[in-house]
Chains A and B, each alone.
Chain A
Amino acid sequence: MDSTAARKPRRGSSKRAGTKAAKAAPSGEPELVQLLTPEGERVEHPDYSIDLSSEELRGLYRDMVLTRRFDAEATTLQRQGELGLWASLLGQEAAQIGSGRATRDDDYVFPTYREHGVAWCRGVDPTNLLGMFRGVNHGGWDPNENNFHLYTIVIGSQALHATGYAMGVAKDGVDSAVIAYFGDGASSQGDVAEAFTFSAVYNAPVVFFCQNNQWAISEPTDRQTRVPLYQRAQGYGFPGVRVDGNDVLAVLAVTKAALDRARAGEGPTLVEAFTYRMGAHTTSDDPTRYRRDEERELWEAKDPILRLRTLMEREGHADEAFFTALEAESDALAKRVRDVVRSMPDPDHMAIFENIYADGHALVDEERAQFAAYQASFAEESR
Chain B
Amino acid sequence: MSVEKLSIAKAINASLRTALENDPKVLIMGEDVGKLGGVFRVTDGLQKDFGEDRVIDTPLAESGIVGTAIGLALRGYRPVVEIQFDGFVFPAYDQIVTQLAKMHARSLGKVKLPVVIRIPYGGAIGAVEHHSESPEALFAHVAGLKVISPSNASDAYWMLQQAIQSDDPVIYFEPKRRYHDKSEVDTEAIPGPLHTARVAREGTDLTLAAYGPMVKTCLEAAAAAAEEGKSLEVLDLRSMSPIDFDSIQASVERTRRLVVVHEAPVFYGSGAEIAARITERCFYHLEAPVLRVGGYHAPYPPSRLEDEYLPGLDRVLDAVDRALAY
What is the interface residue range for chain A against chain B? 35 or more
Cβ-based interface call for A287 (8 A):
no
| List of B residues within 8 angstroms of A138 by Cβ | 102, 105-106
Q: In whole Å, how far is A283's beta carbon from the nearest beta carbon of chain B?
A: 22
CB pair A164–B103 under 8 Å, yes or no, is no
CB pair B107–A164 under 8 Å, yes or no, is no
CB pair B71–A358 under 8 Å, yes or no, is no
| List of B residues within 8 angstroms of A159 by Cβ | 67
CB pair A197–B64 under 8 Å, yes or no, is yes
Task: Tell whether A157 pairs with B94 under 8 Å between CB atoms, given A201-B59, A362-B195.
Answer: yes
State which of B58, B70, B74, B91 has its C-beta within 8 Å of the C-beta of A198. Answer: B58
Cβ-based interface call for B77 (8 A):
yes
CB pair A164–B70 under 8 Å, yes or no, is yes
Q: In whole Å, how far is B114's beta carbon from the nearest beta carbon of chain A?
A: 8
- Determine, out of A64-72, A165-173, A304-312, A375-383, the stretch whose residues face the partner at the interface: A165-173
**Taking each of B53, B99, B241, which has the highest tally of chain A beta carbons within 10 Å of its own beta carbon?**
B99
Q: Hey, which bits of chain A sit against chain B, CB under 8 A? A: 137-140, 142-144, 149-150, 152, 154, 157, 159-169, 171-172, 190-191, 194-195, 197-198, 201, 354-359, 361-364
State which of B95, B112, B244, B245 has its C-beta within 8 Å of the C-beta of A157. Answer: B95
In Å, the complex CA distance between A363 and B245 comes to 9
Q: In whole Å, how far is B94's beta carbon from the nearest beta carbon of chain A?
A: 7
Q: In whole Å, how far is B198's beta carbon from the nearest beta carbon of chain A?
A: 16
Task: Tell whether A162 pairs with B146 under 8 Å between CB atoms, given A191-B95, A358-B104.
Answer: no
Majority secondary structure of chain A interface residues (helix, strand, loop or mixed): helix
| List of A residues within 8 angstroms of B63 by Cβ | 160, 190-191, 194
- A144-B110, A358-B112, A363-B241 given; 5 more Cβ-contact pairs under 8 Å: A161-B67, A194-B67, A201-B59, A358-B104, A359-B166
CB pair A161–B108 under 8 Å, yes or no, is no
**Taking each of A190, A191, A201, A357, which has the highest tally of chain B beta carbons within 10 Å of its own beta carbon?**
A357
CB pair A355–B104 under 8 Å, yes or no, is yes
In Å, the complex CA distance between A194 and B69 comes to 13
Cβ-based interface call for B168 (8 A):
yes
Which residues from 73 to 90 on chain B have a C-beta closer than 8 Å to any C-beta of chain A? 73-77
State which of A140, A162, A190, A361 has its C-beta within 8 Å of the C-beta of B242. Answer: A361
CB pair B67–A160 under 8 Å, yes or no, is yes
CB pair B105–A168 under 8 Å, yes or no, is no
| List of A residues within 8 angstroms of B91 by Cβ | 190
| List of B residues within 8 angstroms of A356 by Cβ | 104-105, 143-144
| List of B residues within 8 angstroms of A137 by Cβ | 108
| List of A residues within 8 angstroms of B108 by Cβ | 137, 139-140, 354-355
Task: Tell whether A160 pairs with B64 under 8 Å between CB atoms, given A165-B74, A198-B59.
Answer: yes
Closest chain B residue to A358 by CB distance? B167
Closest chain A residue to B74 by CB distance? A165
State which of B59, B68, B111, B166 has its C-beta within 8 Å of the C-beta of A143. Answer: B111
In Å, the complex CA distance between A262 and B146 comes to 36
**Taking each of B58, B105, B112, B245, which has the highest tally of chain A beta carbons within 10 Å of its own beta carbon?**
B105
Closest chain A residue to B195 by CB distance? A362
Query: Would you mind naming 19 contact pairs between A and B with Cβ atoms under 8 Å apart?
Result: A139-B106, A139-B108, A157-B94, A157-B98, A160-B63, A163-B68, A164-B69, A165-B72, A168-B74, A194-B67, A197-B64, A354-B105, A357-B168, A359-B167, A359-B168, A361-B241, A361-B242, A362-B245, A363-B243
Closest chain A residue to B108 by CB distance? A355
Q: In whole Å, how far is A129's beta carbon from the nearest beta carbon of chain B?
A: 14
Task: Tell whether A364 pairs with B143 under 8 Å between CB atoms, given A164-B75, A194-B64, A194-B67.
Answer: yes
Task: Tell whether A162 pairs with B71 under 8 Å between CB atoms, given A168-B76, A168-B77.
Answer: yes
| List of B residues within 8 angstroms of A144 by Cβ | 110-111
| List of B residues within 8 angstroms of A363 by Cβ | 241-243
CB pair B242–A197 under 8 Å, yes or no, is no
CB pair B59–A197 under 8 Å, yes or no, is yes
| List of B residues within 8 angstroms of A361 by Cβ | 146, 241-242
Closest chain A residue to B71 by CB distance? A164
Q: In whole Å, how far is A208's beta carbon from the nearest beta carbon of chain B?
A: 13
**Taking each of A165, A195, A354, which has the highest tally of chain B beta carbons within 10 Å of its own beta carbon?**
A165
CB pair B168–A172 under 8 Å, yes or no, is no
Complex A-B, nearest 3 residue pairs according to Cβ-Cβ distance, in ascending order = A164-B71, A160-B67, A168-B75
CB pair B70–A139 under 8 Å, yes or no, is no
Cβ-based interface call for B61 (8 A):
yes
Cβ-based interface call for B192 (8 A):
no
| List of B residues within 8 angstroms of A357 by Cβ | 104, 144, 146, 168
**Taking each of A140, A163, A359, which has the highest tally of chain B beta carbons within 10 Å of its own beta carbon?**
A359
| List of B residues within 8 angstroms of A162 by Cβ | 71
CB pair A168–B243 under 8 Å, yes or no, is no
